[in-house]
């Protein structure tokens, strides 16, 4: 009986571990190629605003973080840096600075969702179509949010 219990516990542990690792690494395996640094930096040269993603935000943790420079223009938002890998990342513009999950949820109705973030080393999210009418001057912060798990990832204030 002890042998069966030990086998059940050990197999259950490794099954759970494999599942958790799959959730973490699957987005990395299926992510499209990230834009290269020269491309992102070239877009940044003409961007009127910049901000910084930092790992030490109150809402960030060991598995949910961003770091690097964010470039904001009327045509696109780009990151030269890194994001912790994860599924279903969305990019938002916020009219007020938020740096944690509670503040994000409190102000989400006043934010504008710009698009999906599908890469974790550098990204470029184009603002086109119906979103082109959203004036970046109405907002002051870029936020990366995981919709699937309602998890704050990072934020960068690009203007006061």
Asked if the model's pLDDT at residue 134 lies above 80, the reply is no
- 108-111: list long-range contacts, CB under 8 Å, 24+ apart: 111/139, 111/143
Its pTM stands at: 0.82
Q: Do residues 75 and 102 make contact, with C-beta atoms less than 8 angstroms apart?
A: no
Structure confidence by residue, pLDDT tens digits, 28-79: 555 668 899 999 999 999 999 999 999 999 999 999 999 999 999 999 999 9
Average pLDDT over every residue of 130-155? 87
- 17 — pLDDT class (breaks 50, 70, 90): confident
């Amino acid at each position: 009986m002890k042998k069966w219990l030990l086998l059940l516990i050990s197999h259950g542990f490794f099954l759970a571990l494999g599942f958790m690792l799959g959730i973490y690494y699957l987005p990395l395996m299926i992510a499209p190629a990230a834009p290269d640094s020269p491309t992102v930096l070239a877009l940044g040269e003409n961007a009127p605003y910049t901000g910084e993603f930092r790992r030490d935000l109150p809402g960030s943790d060991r598995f949910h973080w961003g770091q690097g420079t964010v470039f904001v223009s009327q045509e696109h938002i780009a990151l030269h840096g890194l994001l912790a890998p994860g599924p279903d990342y969305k990019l938002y513009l916020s009219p007020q600075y938020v740096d944690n999950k509670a503040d994000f949820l409190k102000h989400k109705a006043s934010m504008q969702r710009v698009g999906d973030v599908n890469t974790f080393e550098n990204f470029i999210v184009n603002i086109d179509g119906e979103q082109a009418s959203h004036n970046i001057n109405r907002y002051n912060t870029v936020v990366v949010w995981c919709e699937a798990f309602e998890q704050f990832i990072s934020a960068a204030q690009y203007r006061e």
